[in-house]
């Protein structure tokens, strides 16, 4: 069975299952869920805990199977954790996990907790994951996107008895907080906790948050590309500066930007040839957040504009690789900024 992450606490109050699988790339959310399961397990007599970390092709799955099949020497009940950082258990691991999943339904003395990174759809359709889902409970943890981050921060503040000022000032405070911690949820959590240490319960002013919260944001090139398509001009400038400060390779940033421009050009060409927009997007493997952003931008972008952007992307490719081009900045980051802002500004006026 699948459990939505926000429903885990309510689920645990009703009783434990013998098998849980956590998967996702948000370490904070996975850790908190694992802690909640462990705490509930301890309260119900699972006092012995064994941890197996799957590393390398020659991992001994026999040891894991043996620990699950044996009685604890020191407790009536035991908790066994299986951590697979790569998300790839291998052939032997796949067979072992299926056996563990099938045995879990008849074993109330052992609770098994499997912890995985984010899994693609192909992996989730594999026999071993299907067994974990069929015989146990799986919880997926998706990243908290930038749009949802202010609300997430507000909820965390509420949980420790604090809140921002009502109205526009409060929204400005949450936006400022989100700008400072974007892409770094663990740091966001730590900054929220810091406010609990610095200030009593109750209302927080913008000045209190501004003076306390560090700039710990982390950015990636693909989130930058989403901000460009979304016409978020100020965020694009901030992210470019952050990526440069973090030492990101300009070639990766350029690839993310130019790939979206190429996709827009292909989809616009298909539209002009009479293809429906949903079909053109699907044929170009556009889905999720990018699908919504491109659906919004494409009706206002003609092929001539997109062709010019393709030429500009080709020019910036040369600059990133060390070429000098008249009328363009010689610095790769300045050239990337010129390209990104040109596209972002065009998308922002729609």
Q: List, as one string, the DSSP characters of 129-140.
A: HHHHHHHSEEEE
Last-in-domain residue among 94, 111, 141: 141
Which pLDDT value is given to residue 103? 86
State the CB neighbour count (10 A cutoff) for residue 199.
15
Question: Do 237 and 253 sit in the same domain of this protein?
Answer: yes
Using CA atoms, how far apart are residues 318 and 28, in angstroms rounded to an integer?
40
Question: Do 48 and 121 sit in the same domain of this protein?
Answer: yes
For residues 244-262, give the mean pLDDT: 92
Question: Do 312 and 263 sit in the same domain of this protein?
Answer: yes
Structural domain for 312, as ranges: 221-348
Report residue 75's pLDDT band, with 50, 70 and 90 as the boundaries.
low
Whether 162 contacts 195, CB under 8 Å: yes
Q: Give me 195's structure tokens.
A: 């406010």
pTM for this model (two decimals): 0.70
Question: Do 78 and 178 sit in the same domain of this protein?
Answer: no
Question: Do 131 and 166 sit in the same domain of this protein?
Answer: no
For residues 74-83, give the mean pLDDT: 82
Question: Do 133 and 37 sit in the same domain of this protein?
Answer: yes
Q: Please, what sign has the CA dihedral across residues 258, 261, 265, 270?
A: positive
Which ranges in the chain belong to alpha helices (H)?
8-14, 27-43, 61-69, 90-104, 121-124, 127-135, 149-159, 168-181, 185-198, 206-212, 221-229, 233-245, 250-272, 277-283, 288-297, 303-320, 332-348
Question: Do 161 and 187 sit in the same domain of this protein?
Answer: yes
User: pLDDT at residue 302 above 90?
Assistant: yes
Question: Do 123 and 231 sit in the same domain of this protein?
Answer: no
- pLDDT, tens only, 91-120: 889 999 999 998 887 777 889 999 999 988
- Overall domain count for the chain: 3
Last-in-domain residue among 95, 122, 141: 141
Comparing C-alpha atoms, which of 169, 21, 218 is closest to residue 100? 21
Report residue 150's pLDDT band, with 50, 70 and 90 as the boundaries.
very high
Question: Do 84 and 118 sit in the same domain of this protein?
Answer: yes
For residues 247-269, give the mean pLDDT: 94
For the domain that residue 165 is a member of, what is the CATH number? 1.10.8.60
Last-in-domain residue among 212, 241, 261: 212
Question: Do 166 and 239 sit in the same domain of this protein?
Answer: no
Percentage with pLDDT > 90 across the chain: 64
Q: Please, what sign has the CA dihedral across residues 92, 1, 144, 222?
A: positive
State the CB neighbour count (10 A cutoff) for residue 267.
24
For the domain that residue 63 is a member of, what is the CATH number? 3.40.50.300
Question: Do 251 and 267 sit in the same domain of this protein?
Answer: yes
Question: Do 96 and 154 sit in the same domain of this protein?
Answer: no
- pLDDT, tens only, 314-345: 999 999 999 999 999 999 999 999 999 999 99
């Amino acid at each position: 069975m699948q459990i939505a992450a926000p429903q885990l606490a309510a689920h645990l109050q009703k009783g434990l299952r013998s098998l849980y699988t956590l998967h996702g790339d948000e370490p904070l959310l996975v850790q908190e869920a694992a802690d909640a399961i462990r705490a509930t397990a301890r309260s119900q007599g699972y006092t012995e805990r064994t941890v197996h970390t799957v590393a390398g092709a020659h991992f001994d799955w026999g040891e894991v199977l043996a620990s699950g099949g044996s009685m604890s020497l020191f407790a009536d009940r035991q908790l066994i954790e299986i951590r697979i950082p790569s998300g790839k258990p291998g052939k032997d691991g796949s067979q072992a996990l299926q056996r563990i999943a099938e045995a879990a339904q008849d074993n109330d003395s052992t609770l098994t907790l499997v912890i995985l990174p984010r899994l693609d759809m192909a992996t989730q359709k594999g026999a071993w994951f299907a067994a974990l889902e069929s015989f146990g409970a799986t919880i997926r943890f998706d990243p908290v996107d930038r749009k949802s981050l202010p609300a997430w921060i507000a909820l965390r503040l509420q949980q420790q008895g604090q809140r921002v000022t009502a109205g526009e000032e409060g929204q400005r405070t949450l936006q400022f907080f989100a700008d400072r911690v974007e892409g770094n949820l663990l740091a966001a959590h730590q900054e929220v906790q810091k406010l609990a240490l610095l200030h009593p319960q109750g209302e927080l002013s913008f000045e209190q948050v501004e003076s306390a919260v560090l700039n710990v944001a982390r950015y990636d090139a693909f989130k930058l590309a989403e901000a460009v398509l979304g016409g978020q001009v100020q965020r694009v400038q901030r992210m470019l500066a952050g990526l440069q400060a973090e030492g990101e390779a300009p070639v990766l940033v350029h690839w993310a930007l130019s790939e979206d421009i190429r996709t827009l050009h292909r989809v616009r060409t298909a539209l002009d040839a009479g293809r429906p927009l949903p079909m053109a997007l699907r044929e170009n493997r556009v889905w999720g957040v990018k699908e919504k952003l491109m659906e919004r931008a494409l009706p206002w972008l003609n092929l001539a504009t997109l062709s010019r952007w393709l030429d500009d992307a080709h020019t910036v490719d040369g600059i990133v690789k060390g070429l000098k081009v008249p009328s363009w900045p010689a610095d790769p980051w300045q050239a990337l900024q010129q390209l990104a802002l040109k596209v972002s500004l065009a998308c922002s006026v729609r």
